[in-house]
């Protein structure tokens, strides 16, 4: 089976080369048939130039440039959905461009797919996982969202919201994700649950992005402005997603 690793990147010139090289090393050592797709999401720094240079050195690296009329990132969901169109692999794994995910955990995800699962969630909150530098407010919101998901949808998965997952390609074709933001990671797994796909999770490592990469997107969790505006918007998008899929879930149970 072929593995497609998708790396969404917006203005990651300081970390993207290191991220790609780490992924390349682990994929090569594992002996996979693979490709690395890097989504340059509206970057206005040297991210695009770096991935173009690396692609000329290694054909496994595929640069994809997503440009929009608006400034800034188009959103994680939009970037991933754009990348999904270009994947040729049977197994698809999103991987964050700031190295907050651990490349050494990729084989754990792949092996579980090979064991017969359709979706494998990388969990930061089960036995065997590690987590470092996670902002307290972000952690509180994360646990509330995940427990709400688990309760409403009768799931045992502890970390539905983590982007670091592995999917069989046919899961994405059937799920047809529509989210533009980070909630896409929950949308796909919740739809997979509703449609009856086989889901499991494995422990993974997560750490705060390296200092050389600058402030993370969630670094402003200490900012009152972020808490008042952006956090409320993120929460609203998750609640909206949860309610829309919950009714589909209830309908599927009635039909059964």
* pTM for this predicted structure: 0.90
Percent of the chain residues topping a pLDDT of 90: 70
Contact 52, 28 (CB under 8 A): no
Number of residues assigned to the chain? 256
The answer to whether the beta carbons of residues 6 and 20 sit under 8 Å apart is no
Residue the block writes with tokens 């972020």: 226
CA 60 distance to own-chain centroid = 20
- Confidence class for position 243, pLDDT limits 50, 70, 90: confident
pLDDT at res. 218? 32
User: 221 versus 210: which is more confidently predicted?
Assistant: 210
Q: For residue 177, give the nearest of 157, 199, 192, 155 by alpha carbon.
A: 192
Of 232, 226, 167, the residue nearest 193 (C-alpha) = 167
User: In sequence order, what are the beta bridge partners of 160?
Assistant: none
Query: Alpha-carbon distance 229 to 235, whole Å?
Result: 10
Domains of the chain are 2-255 (3.90.550.10)
For residue range 84-96, list pLDDT tens digits in order: 999 999 999 999 9
Dist. CA 238–CA 243, nearest whole Å: 9
pLDDT digits (tens, 9 = 90+) for 72-84: 778 899 999 999 9
């Amino acid at each position: 089976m072929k593995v497609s690793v998708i790396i969404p990147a917006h203005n990651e010139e300081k970390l993207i080369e290191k991220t790609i090289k780490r992924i390349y090393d682990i994929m090569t050592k594992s002996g996979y048939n693979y490709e690395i797709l890097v989504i340059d999401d509206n970057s206005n720094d040297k991210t695009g130039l770096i991935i173009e240079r690396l692609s000329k050195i290694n054909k496994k690296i595929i640069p994809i440039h997503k440009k929009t009329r608006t400034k800034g990132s188009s959103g994680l969901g939009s970037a991933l959905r754009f990348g999904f169109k270009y994947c040729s692999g049977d197994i698809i794994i999103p991987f964050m461009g700031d190295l907050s995910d651990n490349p050494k955990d990729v084989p754990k995800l792949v092996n579980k797919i090979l064991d017969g699962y359709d979706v494998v969630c990388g969990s930061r909150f089960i036995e065997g996982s590690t987590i470092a530098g996670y902002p307290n407010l972000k952690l509180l919101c994360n646990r509330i969202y995940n427990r709400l998901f688990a309760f409403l949808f009768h799931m045992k998965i502890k970390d539905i919201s983590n982007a670091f997952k592995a999917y069989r390609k046919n899961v994405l074709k059937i799920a047809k994700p529509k989210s533009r933001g980070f909630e896409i990671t929950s949308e796909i797994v919740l739809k997979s649950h509703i449609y009856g796909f086989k889901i499991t999770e494995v422990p993974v490592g997560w750490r705060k992005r390296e200092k050389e990469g600058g402030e993370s997107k969630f670094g402003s969790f200490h900012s009152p402005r972020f808490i008042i505006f952006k956090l409320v918007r993120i929460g609203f998008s998750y609640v909206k997603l949860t309610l829309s899929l919950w009714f589909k879930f209830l309908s599927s149970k009635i039909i059964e």
